């Protein structure tokens, strides 16, 4: 084979290799760009969701108070109801915004909590089931109170662009912290609610509400049963925590997910958080386009080389200044704007529970040693002695 043919073959191989490499680089550029666009859209969508929850917290309609429905029959008194919240604000003077309302009446149903309430009012209500219900209700109240407090603080502290811009990062850390706090609080409730082991339902009629009485030394069988259950449940928590911790994990995530389906009113229409997500992507179009443009340039330089990178810059500048007729750098103006209102949270009041209807809950060790009404073990022993006499 002549030297010329060898050189020609080598050139042909180099050209073929270069073509394959270029096609591979284009494929990598397109794939990376699609992934980045999806991530950016997801990030701004999560920002829109956080913005919605901030307005939900300002409305103060979440079931965070044990004295109110759905935990009891007493409906909360919320003023003003519904409160107007600012959303999609402008940077004008005075500040303008669209208005959103989250009424309590169309968001008052909470199926799981209502199931708990219905069971607690059954004449055949069992102390062990009520033990788990009381733990669950406290976890629900804890999570909804935390959402109310933290998100309302964010709503009052940060301007709207900051909520959308850094809100997902802040909430990412809060999610981790919330998971940990739910586990810790669950462990505390596991012990503090053991007072239910020292209660007995005396309503045997099958009608009406349960009648709870405290177990003391005068009823030794029930007292020993309560103490034994307390010891057993201590070991269950220690040895089976990975299993029983499913309960706080479920309640934590249910509390978060339930905020996604809250109904609101905006521009005379009923909406949900998903509507706000779409509106966020629309009204925050420019920041999204700017960020995507930046990544287009960076990916062009890194995947395709200097010349395509420079070409991408020239193309984007031409679009921005209207040389290439495309409106991707034009913002979408907000509609139905009016002057911004207060960011203060609505005030919620609930009637206080009649404490005479409820027995006093003592600590776990007190219940184990003395029951709930004993107060003096000598008196209890005298009562037993009189019965035996």
What is the mean pLDDT of the segment spanning 300-305? 87
Positive/negative CA dihedral, 286, 288, 294, 297: negative
What is the mean pLDDT of the segment spanning 335-345? 92
| DSSP helix/strand/coil, 228 | helix
Residue 3 belongs to some domain of the structure: no
| DSSP helix/strand/coil, 124 | coil
* Cα 337 → chain centroid: 29
**How many domains are contained in the chain?**
1
Residue span of the structural domain in which 323 resides: 28-388
Residue 161 belongs to some domain of the structure: yes
Check pLDDT > 50 for residue 323.
yes
Mean pLDDT for the chain overall: 86
Encode pLDDT of 73-119 as tens digits: 999 999 988 899 999 999 888 999 999 999 999 999 999 999 999 99
**What is the spatial distance between Cα 285 and Cα 266, in angstroms, rounded to a whole number?**
20
Burial 302-320 (b: 16+ CB within 10 A, else e): ebbeeebbeebeebbeebb
Q: Any alpha helices (H) in 60-192, and if so which ranges?
A: 111-120, 127-157, 160-192
Check pLDDT > 80 for residue 353.
no
Check pLDDT > 90 for residue 24.
no
Residue 48 belongs to some domain of the structure: yes
Query: Half-sphere exposure of residue 355, counting CA atoms within 13 Å on the CB side?
Result: 2
Check pLDDT > 70 for residue 261.
yes
Q: Residue 94, preceding bond cis, omega within 30 degrees? A: yes
What is the mean pLDDT of the segment spanning 206-226? 83
Encode pLDDT of 135-186 as tens digits: 999 999 999 999 999 999 999 999 999 999 999 999 999 999 999 999 999 9
User: Of 287, 255, 279, 379, nearest to 336 (Cα)?
Assistant: 279
What is the mean pLDDT of the segment spanning 293-308? 90
**What is the spatial distance between Cα 352 and Cα 113, in angstroms, rounded to a whole number?**
19
Check pLDDT > 90 for residue 378.
no
Residue 191 belongs to some domain of the structure: yes
**What is the spatial distance between Cα 177 and Cα 170, in angstroms, rounded to a whole number?**
11
What is the mean pLDDT of the segment spanning 13-40? 79
* Tokens representing residue 27 in the block: 């494929």
* Tokens representing residue 265 in the block: 């009113």
* pLDDT confidence of residue 204: 81
DSSP E strands, the chain: 77-79, 84-87, 96-101, 199-201, 212-214, 264-266, 269-271, 338-339, 347-349
Residue 153 belongs to some domain of the structure: yes
Q: Which of 39-48, 205-214, 295-304 has the lowest mean pLDDT?
A: 205-214
**What is the spatial distance between Cα 372 and Cα 197, in angstroms, rounded to a whole number?**
10
pLDDT band at 255 (very low <50, low <70, confident <90, very high): very high
What is the mean pLDDT of the segment spanning 218-236? 87
Residue 301 belongs to some domain of the structure: yes
Positive/negative CA dihedral, 234, 238, 242, 245: positive
pLDDT band at 11 (very low <50, low <70, confident <90, very high): low
Check pLDDT > 90 for residue 381.
no
Residue 310 belongs to some domain of the structure: yes
Residue 12 belongs to some domain of the structure: no
* pLDDT confidence of residue 357: 46
Q: Model pTM?
A: 0.84
């Amino acid at each position: 084979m002549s030297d010329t043919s060898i050189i020609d073959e080598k050139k042909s191989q180099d050209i073929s290799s270069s073509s394959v490499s270029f096609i591979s680089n284009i494929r990598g550029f397109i794939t990376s760009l699609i992934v980045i666009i999806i991530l950016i859209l997801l990030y701004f969508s999560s920002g829109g969701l956080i913005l919605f929850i901030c307005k939900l917290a300002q409305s103060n309609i979440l079931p965070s108070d044990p004295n109110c429905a759905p935990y009891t029959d007493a409906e909360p008194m919320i003023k003003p109801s519904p409160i107007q919240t600012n959303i999609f604000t402008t940077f004008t003077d005075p500040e303008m915004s669209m208005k959103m309302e989250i009424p309590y009446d169309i968001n008052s149903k909470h199926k799981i909590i209502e199931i708990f309430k219905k069971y607690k009012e059954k004449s055949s209500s069992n102390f062990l089931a009520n033990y788990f219900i009381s733990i669950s209700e406290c976890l629900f109240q804890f999570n909804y109170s935390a959402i109310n407090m933290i998100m309302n603080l964010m709503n009052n502290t940060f301007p709207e662009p900051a909520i959308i811009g850094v809100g997902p990062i802040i909430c990412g850390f809060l999610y981790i912290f919330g998971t940990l706090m739910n586990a810790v609080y669950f462990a505390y409730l596991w012990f503090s609610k053991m007072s239910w082991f020292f209660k007995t339902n005396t309503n045997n009629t099958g009608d009406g509400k349960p009648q709870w009485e405290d177990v003391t030394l005068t009823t030794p069988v029930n007292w020993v049963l309560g103490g034994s259950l307390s010891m057993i449940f201590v070991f269950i928590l220690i040895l089976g925590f990975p299993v029983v911790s499913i309960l706080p994990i479920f309640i934590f995530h249910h509390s978060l997910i339930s905020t996604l389906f809250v109904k609101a009113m905006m521009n005379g229409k009923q909406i949900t958080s998903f509507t706000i997500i779409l509106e966020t992507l629309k009204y925050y179009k420019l920041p999204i386009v700017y960020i995507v443009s930046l990544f287009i340039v960076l990916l062009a330089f890194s995947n395709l080389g200097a010349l395509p990178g420079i070409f991408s810059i020239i193309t984007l500048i031409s679009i921005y200044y209207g040389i290439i007729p495309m409106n991707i750098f034009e913002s979408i103006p907000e509609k139905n704007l009016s002057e911004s209102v207060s960011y203060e949270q609505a005030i919620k009041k609930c009637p206080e529970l009649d404490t005479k209807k409820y027995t006093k809950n003592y600590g776990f060790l007190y219940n184990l040693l003395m029951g709930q009404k004993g107060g003096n073990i000598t008196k209890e022993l005298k009562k037993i002695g009189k019965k035996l006499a």
